[in-house]
Structure 1
Amino acid sequence: MSIIMAFLIGGLICLVGQLIMELTPYNVTPAHILVGFVTGGALLSAVGLYGPLVKIGGAGATIPISGFGHTLAQGTLEAVQAKGFLGAFTGGVTAGAAGIAAAVVFGFCMATLFNPKG
C-alpha cells in the first residue's frame, strides 16, 4: 500500500507542476516551477502541513523538489533549537548535504562518462 501512496502523492505533485505550466496565461518555465516547489515545500513544512504528507506518501513526497524544501526547513528548525541563531544559517545545508553531494558526484560522473554535444 505504501508504494501506491508514494506513486499517487508523487504523481499529484508532478501533476500540479504540469498544470501550472500548461494552464497559466504567463510564460511559466520549469525554472519557475523549481523555485516555487522548493519555496512551497519549505513553507508547507514550516506551518506543519508537509510532515503529514510525508507520512502518507513517503518517497512520493520526499523525492520531488518540494521535499528538498521540506528538508531545508526541518533542518533549519532543528538546528535553531539545538544551536540557536547560528543554526538558522547552518541547519538547512547540513540537512540537505547528502542530497547536494550526491547531485554533484553523479552530475560529475555523467559529464565524465558522456560527452555532451553543444
Structure 2
Amino acid sequence: MDYVKAFLIGGLLCAVIQILLDRTKLMPGRVMVLLVCSGAVLGFCNIYEPFLEFAKSGASVPLLGFGNVLWQGVKEAVDKHGFIGIFMGGFKASAVGISAALIFGYLASFIFEPKMKK
C-alpha cells in the first residue's frame, strides 16, 4: 500500500506542477525555485515531516524534498556552529544529491546528443 500511496501523492504533486506550467506564465526555473522554497518553508513550519510520514517517497523525491533537506542541514549547522551554519549547512546536507545530479547529467550528455532548443 505504501507504493500506491507514494505513487498517488507524487503523481498528484507532479500534476499540480504541470498545471502550473501549462496554465500560468511561470517559467520552469521559477516553478522549480518555488518548489524548493516551499519545501524549506514547510520544513520550517514542521508541516513537512508529517507529510513525509504519510506520503513516504512520494513527498521526498520531488524538489519539495530537496528544499526540506536544505532546511534540515541549515538547522543542524546553526545549532552546531551558530550563525556561520546558515552558509554551510545546506551545502553539506545536499552535497551527495547535487554531486550525483551533476555526474549523471554529464554522463547522460555522452549517451544522448544534447541540443539547444530553437
Give the drift of 1:108. 1.1
Question: Does 1:76 pair with 2:74?
Answer: yes
Give the drift of 1:33. 1.1
Match of 2:109 among 90, 108, 111: 111
- Residue matched to 2:84: 86
- Residue matched to 2:39: 41
**Deviations, residues 58-117 of structure 1 (Å, cap 9, x unaligned):** 111111011111110111111111121121111111111110000011011111233334
Pick which of 44-53 and 12-21 moved more.
12-21
**C-alpha distance in 1 between matches for 2:19 and 2:90:** 29
- Residue matched to 1:56: 54
**C-alpha distance in 1 between matches for 2:8 and 2:46:** 21
**Aligned residue runs from structure 1 range 2-41, under 5 A:** 2-24=2-24, 27-41=25-39
Q: Percent identity?
A: 42
Give the drift of 1:19. 2.3
Q: What's the TM-score once normalised by structure 2's chain length? A: 0.89
How large is the Cα RMSD of the aligned pairs?
Answer: 1.4
**C-alpha distance in 2 between matches for 1:43 and 1:117:** 35
**C-alpha distance in 2 between matches for 1:4 and 1:29:** 30
**C-alpha distance in 2 between matches for 1:45 and 1:116:** 36
Between the two proteins, the alignment pairs up a number of residues equal to 116
> Which runs of no fewer than 5 residues in structure 2 stay unpaired?
none
**C-alpha distance in 2 between matches for 1:77 and 1:108:** 31
> Which runs of no fewer than 5 residues in structure 1 stay unpaired?
none
